[in-house]
Structure 1
């Protein structure tokens, strides 16, 4: 095994993320690397918004998201592959969490999807472009057509 391939997914858009996951699995297999899949929850707890949620909201959201991530991997790659995948659920800003997990995992490659950009993405920069600009390892961007 020569490293870790980290695949960042948005579980709320499984139809768009399936090709990203398939490509990440393919690249991990080619490199005999471990496949880690991750998704990121928004951090509502540090703002005024967090006070409107019940105390156990985040724990429940994390558990549901972890299950959705596992279900997506199993649906796309199969149960056997899902059992070998490391599932990561982080909380915060997407690009910051992807970069942090990649650094901690010592990832050799990040695979992330990039969907058709809206005008606001050209001005602010989508998560994929921020990951590309700031990553310490190679990044493979799967383009949604």
Structure 2
């Protein structure tokens, strides 16, 4: 059984973690650790950044960290080995970077099927992770 399981989640989208959470719990070894990853997407354009309040990115990163900590307390029993990570930037690249940093044995991701457009967008991140991952990837639908 894997010692380190990476579980990337979007706190705003329950379907990004609901089924994957159960699968991640099943995958982790008794003494293993689950690494929760929340990603704050890059703003992308400096022109867009000028319209945001000063310190927006720092606040967004802190809000993600706080949200992940609440999520861990709510969804994992006391004594569970859970580590939270906050990434910033491109989703797939950030997942792959944290997988290496956390020495993940497996990445557990949800790829819910919704409308056609969102399915394509979600699948593109999942597809990139599957193609370039240094470890096994479990995609849950």
Q: TM-score of the superposition, structure 1-length normalised?
A: 0.82
Structure 1 portions without partners, runs of 5+: none
Tell me by how many angstroms 1:19 deviates: 2.4
Q: TM-score of the superposition, structure 2-length normalised?
A: 0.84
Query: Number of aligned pairs?
Result: 140
Q: Distance in 1 between matches of 2:37 and 2:122?
A: 23
Which of 89, 102, 106 in structure 2 is aligned with 1:105?
A: 102
Q: CA RMSD in A?
A: 2.4
Structure 2 portions without partners, runs of 5+: none
Higher helix share: 1
Contact 1:3 1:106 in 2 (8 A): no
Q: Which moved more, 1:14-23 or 1:34-43?
A: 14-23
Correspondences of 1:1-145 after superposition (within 5 Å)? 3-14=3-14, 16-29=16-29, 32-44=31-43, 47-81=46-80, 84-120=81-117, 121-122=119-120, 125-143=123-141
Contact 2:2 2:28 in 1 (8 A): no
